[in-house]
Amino acid sequence: MNSDEAGLVYVSPASVAQEWTPDNRLWLRPLSIAPLSELAATPPEYEYLLLAGGPLGFTHLDMVTRRDEGYIAARVTIEGARQIAGEAAEAQLEALSRPRPAFAGLEMDRPHIMGIVNVTPDSFSDGGRFLGAEAAIAHGRQMAAAGATILDIGGESTRPGAEPVTREEELARITPVISALSADGHLISADTRHTAVMGPAMGAGARVINDVSGFTEDGAAEVMAKAHAETSDVCAIAMHMQGTPATMQDNPRYGFAPVEVYEVLSGHIDRLVAAGLPRGNIAVDPGFGFGKTPVHNAELIKWTALFHGLGVPVLIGVSRKSSIPKLAARGGQRGDYGGTADERLGGSLALTLDATAQGAQLIRTHDVPETVQAVAVQRGIG
């Protein structure tokens, strides 16, 4: 046996078969992911399945379960997973492979770029640059012209250690920007974790609510369900965050981050569905940088494909995050380049392309033209 990720031990398929029971949890991480044009040449003894019904497929999996000492995984074929876990594996494989419906009108057969419009004085990357409504509106229009298919408008910083603002101030910042950009015909997401802001934001023209706290505030899920009953294409993006923006980087800890984040996101989905929002109107975000160390963040990117098992689109937001220079140092970069947010484009694109190579459908970024081009070149290579 050997340990690869922190908190996860790789064992033989026979060991997983011995440990796993129908009462135990099972997680499947797609591997050997490739474009369908390449998978067409797969030897007949290796079955492949589509990844989220998109242009990629997979032939192998990491099969993960839990025992008393922690998490164990074995590398198996698709048929090997079925032989070990039967119906439980089949249910996971179906969730991993079925096509996703359109999300807020966007077809999920390719990655979409979400442009970040921070109408705040204190965001970690661009705080204050677009605080006025006119500047924020102009910035959003530039992003849309550069290829962003959704604009994410936020009026409260959620950087580590950030203090909340009043609901009135948050709405005063975002409402005119949402109204103007939605009137232009752009798809708008409101980046808010506050129930009292969600309804007015949708009333101003937002069709998506992007909540870093996963709709855990009282009444948030019910607000989304009520809005859906009135406008059927209203959608929710539920993110994982350990703690709050003020506390999330206070010694974050996980047994194994990808599967524990997965379980929390599963609970967020269940909460929204129970309130009345259809599963097809939900996406998830593992929350890179929100209550995670650089090691946790690296694990989440390496395991992006795992989150397709939730059966909904996956959003990845890595843009200009502070883990980038730390990961670069682990990879051998010398010097202190990357110490400021505007020095992290290269790392942002590297993380983005790793995620889109695993089928991530939504990419949230400050740097729209560069990200659009990078993803398009990746797809152009095939």
Side chain identity, residue 9:
V
364 carries an active-site annotation: yes
Q: Across the strands, what pairs with 210?
A: 191, 237
**Whether 355 contacts 321, CB under 8 Å:** no
Rounded-to-integer distance, Cα 50 and Cα 77, Å: 14
Q: How far is CA 218 from the centre of its chain?
A: 23
Other CB atoms within 10 A of residue 21 CB: 10
Helices (H), 211-250: 220-230
Rounded-to-integer distance, Cα 347 and Cα 44, Å: 38
SS3 string, 75-108, reads: EEEHHHHHHHHHHHHHHHHHHHHCCCCCECCECC
Cα-based distances in Å from 333 to 268, 301, 320, 326, 374: 38, 19, 17, 9, 22
Which of these is catalytic: 29, 159, 193, 364? 364
321 carries an active-site annotation: yes
**Whether 198 contacts 116, CB under 8 Å:** no
Sign for the pseudo-dihedral over CA of 143, 149, 154, 157: negative
Which of these is catalytic: 321, 330, 334, 344? 321
Rounded-to-integer distance, Cα 95 and Cα 51, Å: 9
Q: How do the residues of the chain divide into helix, strand and coil, expressed in percent and rounded to 5?
A: 40, 20, 40
Other CB atoms within 10 A of residue 107 CB: 14
Rounded-to-integer distance, Cα 187 and Cα 184, Å: 9
Burial of 171 from C-beta contacts in 10 A (0-12 / 13-18 / 19+)? buried
Positions marked active-site: 321, 364
